[in-house]
Amino acid sequence: MEKAEQDLIDKTPNQLYIGGKWRGASSGATLKVEDPSTGEVLGEVADATPEDAVAALDAAVEVQREWAHHPPRERGEILRRAFELMNERIEELALLLTLEMGKPLKESQAEVTYGSEFLRWFSEEAVRISGRYSTAPTGQGRLLTMKQPVGPCLLITPWNFPIAMGTRKIGPAIAAGCTMVMKPAQLTPFSMLALAGILEEAGLPPGVFNVVTSSSSGPIMGPLIEDRRSRKLSFTGSTEVGQKLMAQASENLLRLSMELGGNAPFLVFEDADLEAAVKGAMIAKMRNIGESCVAANRFHVHESVADDFTERLGEAMGALTVGRGTKEGVDVGPLIDDKQRSIVSDLVDDAVGRGAKAIVGGGRVEGPGYFYEPTVLAQVPEDAQCLRKEIFGPVAPVIGFAEEEEAIRWANDSEFGLVAYVYTRDFDRALRVVEGLETGMVGLNQGLVSNPAAPFGGVKHSGFGREGGAEGIEEYLANKYVAVAT
Ligand code: SIN
Polymer length in residues for the chain: 486
In DSSP terms, 372 is beta-bridged to 364
SS3 state at 146: strand
CA 228 to ligand 1 centroid distance, Å: 30
CB 166 within 8 A of CB 469: no
CA 136 to ligand 1 centroid distance, Å: 43
In DSSP terms, 182 is beta-bridged to 155, 211
CA 220 to ligand 1 centroid distance, Å: 25
CA 293 to ligand 1 centroid distance, Å: 6
CA 161 to ligand 1 centroid distance, Å: 7
Q: Does ligand 1 have an atom closer than 6 angstroms to the CB of 15?
A: no
Task: Tell me which residues of the chain have a pLDDT lower than 50.
Answer: none
If phi > 0 it is left, if psi is from -120 to 50 it is alpha, else beta; for residue 431 that is alpha
Residue 293 annotated to the active site: yes
Separation between Cα atoms, residue 398 and residue 390, nearest integer Å: 15
Q: Does ligand 1 have an atom closer than 6 angstroms to the CB of 121?
A: no
Ligand 1 closest atom vs CA 287: 8
CA 183 to ligand 1 centroid distance, Å: 17
Choice from 116, 235, 294 to test ligand 1 binding pocket (greatest atom count within 8 A of CB): 294
Choice from 112, 157, 160 to test ligand 1 binding pocket (greatest atom count within 8 A of CB): 160
Catalytic residue, chosen from 293, 386, 474, 475, is: 293
Angle at 254 between CA 242 and CA 126, to 5 degrees: 100
Q: CB atoms < 10 A from the CB of 218, how many? A: 14
Residue 183: half-sphere exposure toward Cβ, Cα within 13 Å: 30
Separation between Cα atoms, residue 471 and residue 479, nearest integer Å: 14
Choice from 293, 297, 421 to test ligand 1 binding pocket (greatest atom count within 8 A of CB): 293
Q: Does ligand 1 have an atom closer than 6 angstroms to the CB of 293?
A: yes
Q: What secondary structure does DSSP assign to 472-483, as a single string?
A: HGGGGEEEEEEE
163: nearest Cα among 120, 212, 118, 219: 118
Separation between Cα atoms, residue 215 and residue 195, nearest integer Å: 19
Q: Does ligand 1 have an atom closer than 6 angstroms to the CB of 450?
A: yes
Q: Ligand 1 atom 8: the closest Cα is on which residue?
A: 450
Ligand 1 closest atom vs CA 292: 2
Q: Ligand 1 atom 7: the closest Cα is on which residue?
A: 450
Give 274's DSSP letter: H
Q: Does ligand 1 have an atom closer than 6 angstroms to the CB of 236?
A: yes
Ligand 1 closest atom vs CA 448: 8
SS3 state at 442: strand
Ligand 1 closest atom vs CA 259: 3
Residue type at position 373: E
CA 465 to ligand 1 centroid distance, Å: 14
Residues 6+ apart with CB under 8 A from 124: 76
**All domains in the chain, ordered by first residue:** 3-260+462-483 (3.40.605.10), 264-451 (3.40.309.10)
* Chain centre distance of CA 450: 10
Ligand 1 closest atom vs CA 160: 2
Q: Does ligand 1 have an atom closer than 6 angstroms to the CB of 297?
A: no
Residue 475 annotated to the active site: no
Q: CB atoms < 10 A from the CB of 251, how many? A: 9
Q: Does ligand 1 have an atom closer than 6 angstroms to the CB of 160?
A: yes
Separation between Cα atoms, residue 324 and residue 369, nearest integer Å: 9
Separation between Cα atoms, residue 243 and residue 260, nearest integer Å: 9
Choice from 97, 107, 161, 259 to test ligand 1 binding pocket (greatest atom count within 8 A of CB): 161
Angle at 340 between CA 419 and CA 289, to 5 degrees: 55
Q: Does ligand 1 have an atom closer than 6 angstroms to the CB of 295?
A: no
Q: Does ligand 1 have an atom closer than 6 angstroms to the CB of 161?
A: yes
For 45, 163, 240, 252, the CA distances from 23, given in Å and listed in that order, are: 11, 22, 32, 29
Q: Does ligand 1 have an atom closer than 6 angstroms to the CB of 257?
A: no
470: nearest Cα among 185, 128, 77, 212: 128
Residue 320: φ, ψ to 5°: -75, 145
User: In 186-295, where do the E strands start and end?
Assistant: 209-211, 232-236, 255-259, 264-268
Please tell me the predicted confidence (pLDDT) of residue 367: 83
Q: CB atoms < 10 A from the CB of 409, how many? A: 12
Q: Ligand 1 atom 3: the closest Cα is on which residue?
A: 293
User: In 237-293, where do the E strands start and end?
Assistant: 255-259, 264-268
Q: CB atoms < 10 A from the CB of 304, how many? A: 12
| Widest pairwise Cα distance in the chain | 77
- pTM value? 0.97
Q: Does ligand 1 have an atom closer than 6 angstroms to the CB of 292?
A: yes
CA 118 to ligand 1 centroid distance, Å: 13
Ligand 1 closest atom vs CA 291: 2
Please tell me the predicted confidence (pLDDT) of residue 229: 98
